[in-house]
């Protein structure tokens, strides 16, 4: 198929659709299923989990399992789906609420109820850190909510946020795995973190990791998170050894790179040369955009690092240090900064979306633009620099009818970005 027959929008959204399809859990449990428990000995299959993709994971698991099962999954409001045997509850994300706290308590009780003849299947994806909230002894839900809000506004990378969350949790950082023992446990993960570290996905409820209070406290101070005497005392007391637990295994069923590889194949089908720049891009969204603009301009002018027509693909999780009062998440922040940096350069267009279908807390996955975006904005009196200064990428792209709205996708492999160079 010649790329000249397709619009920039069709190409960009086609790449995003291909990436999303690769991130879905359907079919991913095949050939990865454990041996079922011995029902003659009273063995049960207990399914527990959390995250924005966890409900769809539960449904996909049921479709493949073929044996009795029971359990409880907690996902974000609006991200549930129908299952046959596994209960799905919804709670708040990114700042936890009482529903998430209640679900976490029930999940921990289910884990503790597992005996040596039982199998516990754990389904975890991005978002589990907030959804599976169970404060360490001495902390309240209000304390956790305040800490999460501070982390989100700090601009700290996801790895830092998750280390802090583990340090104040009664269930993360392998504490859920300890509750499951001595039962067999199999964890299935959909990764939303740079590097696909199992201990970082959802803050690793079933992945033991040794506590390091001094390191956590240092990170909090570095990123401007207030460390009260109460918080410091709890972090120092809430430690675990991190020793491996026998009879437990972990499988990764979808990752950011899988999504990028699917987009890569789709681009070749369009007759466009794809170049994957990385699946673990981090840092301030607007600063990353300046770097990507430079790479796109080099491709346009010099044919490097790839000759046009080409598309620059990337994933990861950028951050936004919130200074304004506008609307939008990191995807539209990145895209608006990119449009400004490109200065309306002809032949360059882009899309940036969060694969869970929710950019920040808004109703869009992200947005897209072509080279006419700044000219159109000027004609309508929409000033991009002012919107960026106010962290208001959502309103900017909404005013120009460039938002990408998918609704909840029920998966989550983090950001997807594609920059098309004609």
pLDDT confidence tier of residue 4, bands split at 50, 70 and 90:
low
pTM of the model: 0.91
For 386, left (φ over 0), alpha (ψ -120 to 50), or beta?
Answer: alpha
| Structure-model confidence comparison of residues 315 and 152, the more confident one | 315
Among 164, 92, 96, CA closest to 134: 96
**Cα–Cα separations (whole angstroms), residue 157 to 283, 351, 392:** 7, 22, 20
Residue 310 has pLDDT above 90, yes or no: yes
How far is the C-alpha of 323 from the C-alpha of 416, rounded, in Å?
24
pLDDT tens for each residue of 183-204 = 999 999 999 988 899 999 999 9
pLDDT at position 2: 64
β-strands 415-421, 70-76 pairing: unpaired
Two structure tokens written together for 239:
């430690």
The alpha helices in 121-255, defined as continuous H runs, are 128-131, 141-154, 158-167, 175-180, 213-222, 229-237
CB atoms within 10 A of CB 64: 15
Closest CA to 416 of 253, 201, 267: 267
* pLDDT tens per residue, range 294-305: 999 999 999 999
pLDDT in tens, 255-294: 999 999 999 999 999 999 999 999 999 999 999 999 999 9
pLDDT at 48 over 80: yes
What confidence category does residue 162 fall into, taking pLDDT thresholds of 50, 70 and 90?
confident
Distance set, CA 346 to CA 136, 376, 388 (Å): 54, 14, 22
CB contact burial 172-192 (16+ within 10 A = b; e otherwise): bbbbbbbbbbebbbbbbbbbb
């Amino acid at each position: 198929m010649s790329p000249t027959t397709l619009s920039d929008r069709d190409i960009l959204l086609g790449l995003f659709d291909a990436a999303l399809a690769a991130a879905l859990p359907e079919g991913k449990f095949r050939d990865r299923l454990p041996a079922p428990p011995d029902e003659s000995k009273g063995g049960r299959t207990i399914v527990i989990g959390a995250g924005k993709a966890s409900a769809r994971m539960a449904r996909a698991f049921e479709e493949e399992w073929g044996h009795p099962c029971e359990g409880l999954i907690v996902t974000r409001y609006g991200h549930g789906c129908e299952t046959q045997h596994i209960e799905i509850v919804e709670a708040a994300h990114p700042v936890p609420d009482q529903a998430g706290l209640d679900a976490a308590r029930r999940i921990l009780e289910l884990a503790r109820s597992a005996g040596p003849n039982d199998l516990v299947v754990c389904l975890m994806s991005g978002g589990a850190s907030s959804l599976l909230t169970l404060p360490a002894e001495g902390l309240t839900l209000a304390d956790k909510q305040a800490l999460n809000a501070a982390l989100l506004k700090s601009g700290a990378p996801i790895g830092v946020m998750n280390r802090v969350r583990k340090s104040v949790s009664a269930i993360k950082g392998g504490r859920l795995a300890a509750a499951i023992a001595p039962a067999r446990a199999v964890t299935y993960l959909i990764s939303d973190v740079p590097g696909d570290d199992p201990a970082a996905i959802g803050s690793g409820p079933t992945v033991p990791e040794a506590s390091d209070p001094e390191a956590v406290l240092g990170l909090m101070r570095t990123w401007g998170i207030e460390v009260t005497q109460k918080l410091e005392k709890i972090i120092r007391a809430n430690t675990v050894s991190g020793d491996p637990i026998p009879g437990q295994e972990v499988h990764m069923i979808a990752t950011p790179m899988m999504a990028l590889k699917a987009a890569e194949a789709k681009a070749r089908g369009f007759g466009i040369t794809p170049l994957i720049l990385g699946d673990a891009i981090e840092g301030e969204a607007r600063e990353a955009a300046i770097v990507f603009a430079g790479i796109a301009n080099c491709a346009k002018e010099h044919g490097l690092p790839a000759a046009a027509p080409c598309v620059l693909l990337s994933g990861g999780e950028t951050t936004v240090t919130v200074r304004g009062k506008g609307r939008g998440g990191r995807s539209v922040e990145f895209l608006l900064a990119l449009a400004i940096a490109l200065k309306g350069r002809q032949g360059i267009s882009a899309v940036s979306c969060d694969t869970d279908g929710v950019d920040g807390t808004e109703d869009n996955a992200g947005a897209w633009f072509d080279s006419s975006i700044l000219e159109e904005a000027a004609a309508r009196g929409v000033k991009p620099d002012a919107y960026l200064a106010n962290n208001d990428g959502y309103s900017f792209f909404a005013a120009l009818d460039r938002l990408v709205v998918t609704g909840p996708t029920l998966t989550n492999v983090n950001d997807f970005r594609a920059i098309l160079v004609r």
